[in-house]
Structure formats: structure tokens, C-alpha cells
Chain A
Amino acid sequence: MQSDTRLVLVNWMRQFGAAMAVYLAALAAAIWALTALHAGPLRTAVILAPILPGLALIGLTVRAYGRCDEYIRLRILQAAALAAIAVAALSLVYFYMELVGFPHLSTAWISNVVWAVFVAQMLRLIATGK
């Protein structure tokens, strides 16, 4: 992989990892605030705080996409498509599982599945170049 393109992907992974760490910290604070804080502006702000690093994950990925060449862009789009297909399949299956008694899940799991599938493919691309 040409150094520039590889550097873009490696930088993306570093920044993505940092944003994910901030997101998880904000998520932990939000979960804590749900039970520990009384209703008010502070509680609302802490609970909504994970939105910003969550959106940063998307922004970083879009920026990296714009800096890659056409083949790497295709691979990024393929990774995004596979992540979307995984969510479509899982949501379809679990919808019917809920009807027969499985516990109701928050829609937050969609974001987790998307990023897990997407990042796994990107790590493979960075590690193997394929």
C-alpha cells in the first residue's frame, strides 16, 4: 500500500480508537448519571454527552474515505455495505425472536454492530492489504 494511503488508514484507526475511548467514557458517565443525578440540566448534559464522540466516529470515517484512492474507497464502501447487511439480518431475526418472548433490546445495539463489523473489515484491510 502506498505510504500516503496506508498513513490515512492508520491515522484513521488511531483517531477512531481515541474517539471510541472518549465515547465509552461518556457512555459510562451517562449510565452513572441515569441513576445518580437528579433531574436537571447537568443530568441532561451528561446523558447526552456520548452523542458528540459518537458523531465524531462518523466524521473521522467520512474524512478518511475522502483521502483514499478509488480502490480503497471501494473497499470502505464494501465494509459499510456488509455492516448494513449484518444489521438488516440481525434486526429481522431479532424482531421475530422478540415476538416469541425474547427481551426487548435498545436500538443502541445497531451502532455497536455496525462499527464492530465495519472496523473488523478495516483492520483486515490495514493488516493484510486485502
Chain B
Amino acid sequence: MTNSIPNLRAERGWTQGDLATHLRVSRQTVNAIETGRYDPSLPLAFAIAKLFRRRIEEIFQP
């Protein structure tokens, strides 16, 4: 699964650590999601969508 998190994060000038803090997860988790090594749980995917004010399918693509 691919995602547009790096672009959305860059638009806000956030580092992976900043995003991790907002989501209350580790920076390593953000890195793993961005690089496609880990697909987030549904609750975390919803949290990401809510944070960026997008729908989940706008952020994550199969």
C-alpha cells in the first residue's frame, strides 16, 4: 500500500518526529508507514486522516 503522507507532512513543514508527536506514536512507526514497510491499523489510519483533514482513501492507495 502506498500513501501520500510524506507530501502532506511536507506541506505543513513537519518532520517525521512532529507527525509522530501529533499521532502519539514513535517516529519509527511514521517512517515505517511512509516507506510502505508497515500498514497502520484502522484506528491509526483514521487518526492520520483526521489530522490531515482528508479521507482515508485520499491518503492511502492499494
The chain A residues found within 8 Å of chain B, CB to CB, are 1-2, 4-6, 68-72, 74, 129-130
Chain A residues near B31 (CB-CB < 8 A): 129
Interface centre among B24, B28, B44 (most CB of A within 10 A): B28
The chain B residues found within 8 Å of chain A, CB to CB, are 17, 20-21, 24-29, 31-33, 38, 40-41, 44
**Is the beta-carbon distance between A72 and B28 smaller than 8 angstroms?**
yes
In the bound assembly, the distance between CA atoms of A106 and B40 in angstroms comes to: 42
| 6 A-B pairs with the lowest CB-CB distances in the bound complex, closest first | A71-B29, A5-B26, A69-B25, A2-B26, A1-B28, A2-B20
**Is the beta-carbon distance between A70 and B41 smaller than 8 angstroms?**
yes
**Is the beta-carbon distance between A6 and B26 smaller than 8 angstroms?**
yes
In the bound assembly, the distance between CA atoms of A4 and B20 in angstroms comes to: 11
Chain B residues near A70 (CB-CB < 8 A): 25, 29, 40-41, 44
**Is the beta-carbon distance between B38 and A72 smaller than 8 angstroms?**
no
Chain A residues near B38 (CB-CB < 8 A): 71, 74
Chain A residues near B32 (CB-CB < 8 A): 71
Q: Can you report 17 A-B residue pairs in the complex whose CB atoms are below 8 A from each other?
A: A1-B27, A2-B25, A2-B26, A2-B27, A2-B29, A4-B26, A5-B25, A5-B28, A69-B25, A69-B29, A70-B25, A70-B40, A71-B25, A72-B26, A72-B28, A72-B29, A74-B38
Chain A residues near B21 (CB-CB < 8 A): 2
